[in-house]
Structure 1
Amino acid sequence: MTRRYLIQSIAAGALAIGLLGAAAAASAQDRKTIKIGVTPGPHAQIMEAVKPIAAQKGLDIQIIEFSDYVVPNAALEAGELQANSFQHKPYLDNQKADRGYRIEAVGYTVNFPIGLYSKKYKSWDAVPQSASLAIPNDPTNGGRVLLLLQDKGVLKLKDGVGFKPSVADIVDNPKKLKITEIDAAQTPRTLDDVDVAAVNTNYATQAGLDPVKDAILREDPKGPYANLIAVRAADKDQPWVKALVESYQTPQIKEFILTKFKGAVLPAW
């Protein structure tokens, strides 16, 4: 190899490396980093499975876990998150009405049929008169439990209560259940103190409960309680939002949900 040819080869190699570096830098700049708020358990686990699919569409997902249902919408409204995935539409609608959030649903995710659990009784029929019952204290999830109890013939509510009935709307309570309202995230911890507790599926699985085997009453997977991805209204038409929803609503994620959660969590798209 001549000296001149060697110099040309080295120069060409350096140019190629430089072009590759520039392409990588450009590619990194083209990627969109989005922070997504979730609650621990299934929502977080599913979003972890979404991450590599979204990466192929240029999205770098950073998952931020919240231990309650209140903060994720406040953080999204404040711009601390770009999206969240933890709530159903009645809850979001209630938050928007109460707090004026400019947040919109952009795609459905999963359904978590809510259940009633007990450490003392193996079936609902075994639950005695005047039993103590803990339910979530937010209007939508607490109301959801009351609608479940009405659907199962346990109690009766006023006509026309919609999706947010309260304890005050109970007109017939044959079992004379003593109902206590507490924060949804704390409901699994009450099982040592109450006869029965209504627990959202994400908190139930996090506490080691099996919603399919352990629930003594369980909601039918119907109605408006499908969970969703939410973003700020100003962002809903952004290309990354479409990419995020498409990454979630894939056959791979559907299979992951069905395999991982064995019926406790159901795809909602």
Structure 2
Amino acid sequence: MKKLTALLLALMLLVPAFAFADEAEYATITIGATPSPHVEILEAIEPQLEAVGIKLNIITYTDYIQPNDALVAGDLDANFFQHKPYMDDYNLGHGSNLVALIPVHYEPLGIYPGKTATIEELPEGGSIAVPNDTTNEARALLLLEENGIITLREGAGINATKLDIVDNPKNIEIQEVEAAQIPRVLPDVDLAVINGNYAVQAGLNVMTDALVKEESDSLAAETYVNYVVVNDGNYDADLFAKLQQVLTSDETKAWMNEKYAGAVVPFEPTTDEATDEAADTATDETASTDEAAAATEEPADEATES
């Protein structure tokens, strides 16, 4: 009996050691993300990542400020919630050097009915809620312009604000609301422009509930791709190359298409982008070949000099 007890104790002591050894085989990426769809996407790819030796430590945030602050502070290895214009605006305001590393998907903005059922029925002096942050407000105003509700100053583009509205034939009141709160004010406004992720969280589907949405070939779709963002020069390139392979894999894209049914659209590079990427790869391979050739020639040169 004493021998059996001693054996069991020995095995119990070994279990943590084996568990530690298994964990040591994995590299960990601590990544901050907003709940839907970002955390959901990250959780969905965990099995693929574990197959290539990576575990995720996912920190969930419910706003757009803390994930960047935490990344700058070094509390995160990366974050996943934002598009490049938003990141650029944050860098400008905080003197930071965040980098949009991995393009993953875009979330079409949609115009959703509130008190008014259609755009055509929008009354004189009606109200439309739009996101109040700089980049998403511009995006919302562009969508309103595309659908004949307002006209913006020529050239305003992705920097548009309410001050750039040059024609507002129905004298629509543009109400600036914190993006996450817009679904809650739907009963109080005629129409609302809602970010894709917040629409999903509110149980809305951009394909079936929105009156109109940003199209996949629009400037907005190209501009407002959501990225995995890192601190420049403060990340493991090999590790994040594996993360990119998984996030942009056919398996992941198929999962997103099935899960979100058009509310979240996997990023597909344009022909020009794909060509540029191939050219960059070819350049890297050429550089590697040249370096190898130079390394081979060096001993011969040294022998000649001797």
Q: 1:23 to 1:243 in 2, by over 3 A?
A: farther
Indicate the residue corresponding to 1:29 in structure 2.
24
Q: Per-residue deviation at 1:141?
A: 0.2
Letter of the structure 2 residue corresponding to residue 238 of structure 1: A
Q: How far apart, CA to CA, are the structure 1 residues paired with 2:236 and 2:30?
A: 17
1:168 to 163, 168, 173: 163
Structure 1 unmatched ranges of 5 or more? 1-13
Q: How far apart, CA to CA, are the structure 1 residues paired with 2:16 and 2:30?
A: 27
Instruction: Calculate the aligned-residue CA RMSD, in Å.
Output: 2.0
Letter of the structure 2 residue corresponding to residue 103 of structure 1: L
Letter of the structure 2 residue corresponding to residue 228 of structure 1: Y
Q: How far apart, CA to CA, are the structure 1 residues paired with 2:18 and 2:39?
A: 33
Q: Deviations over 1:181-230 (max 9, x none)?
A: 11111111111211111110110110111111111221122321111111
Q: How far apart, CA to CA, are the structure 1 residues paired with 2:16 and 2:235?
A: 33
Indicate the residue corresponding to 1:241 in structure 2.
240
Q: Per-residue deviation at 1:22?
A: 7.2
Q: Which runs of 4+ in 1 moved over 3 A?
A: 20-27
Q: Deviations over 1:45-73 (max 9, x none)?
A: 11111111111121110222211112111
Q: TM-score, normalised by structure 2?
A: 0.77
Contact 1:66 1:72 in 2 (8 A): yes
Q: Deviations over 1:89-129 (max 9, x none)?
A: 11111111111222111111111110111232332112212
Contact 2:256 2:266 in 1 (8 A): yes
Q: How does 1:223-238 map to 2 (within 5 A)?
A: 223=219, 224-236=223-235, 238=237
Q: Per-residue deviation at 1:130?
A: 1.1
Indicate the residue corresponding to 1:80 in structure 2.
75
Letter of the structure 1 residue corresponding to residue 238 of structure 2: P
Indicate the residue corresponding to 1:265 in structure 2.
264
Q: How far apart, CA to CA, are the structure 2 residues paired with 1:21 and 1:209?
A: 46
Contact 1:201 1:211 in 2 (8 A): yes
Q: How far apart, CA to CA, are the structure 1 residues paired with 2:211 and 2:126?
A: 14
2:52 to 30, 54, 57: 57
Percent identity of the aligned residues? 40
SS of aligned partner of 2:163: helix
Q: How far apart, CA to CA, are the structure 1 residues paired with 2:26 and 2:204?
A: 39
Indicate the residue corresponding to 2:153 in structure 1.
158
Larger relative CO (CA 8 A, sep 6+): 1 or 2?
1
Indicate the residue corresponding to 1:69 in structure 2.
64
Contact 2:142 2:157 in 1 (8 A): no
Q: 1:65 to 1:22 in 2, by over 3 A?
A: closer
Letter of the structure 1 residue corresponding to residue 79 of structure 2: N
- Equivalent pairs, count: 253
Q: Which of the pair is proportionally richer in helix? A: 2
Q: How far apart, CA to CA, are the structure 1 residues paired with 2:236 and 2:59?
A: 23
Q: Deviations over 1:135-175 (max 9, x none)?
A: 11110000000111112222111122231211011111112
In the alignment, structure 1 residue 198 sits paired with structure 2 residue 193: yes
Contact 2:29 2:77 in 1 (8 A): yes
Q: Per-residue deviation at 1:243?
A: 1.4
In the alignment, structure 1 residue 141 sits paired with structure 2 residue 136: yes
Letter of the structure 1 residue corresponding to residue 263 of structure 2: A
In the alignment, structure 1 residue 183 sits paired with structure 2 residue 171: no
Q: How far apart, CA to CA, are the structure 2 residues paired with 1:263 and 1:201?
A: 10
Contact 1:111 1:267 in 2 (8 A): yes
Letter of the structure 1 residue corresponding to residue 227 of structure 2: L
In the alignment, structure 1 residue 96 sits paired with structure 2 residue 91: yes
Q: TM-score, normalised by structure 1?
A: 0.88
1:39 to 15, 22, 34: 34
Q: How far apart, CA to CA, are the structure 2 residues paired with 1:132 and 1:43?
A: 30
Letter of the structure 2 residue corresponding to residue 245 of structure 1: Q
Q: Per-residue deviation at 1:21?
A: 8.8
Contact 2:30 2:59 in 1 (8 A): yes
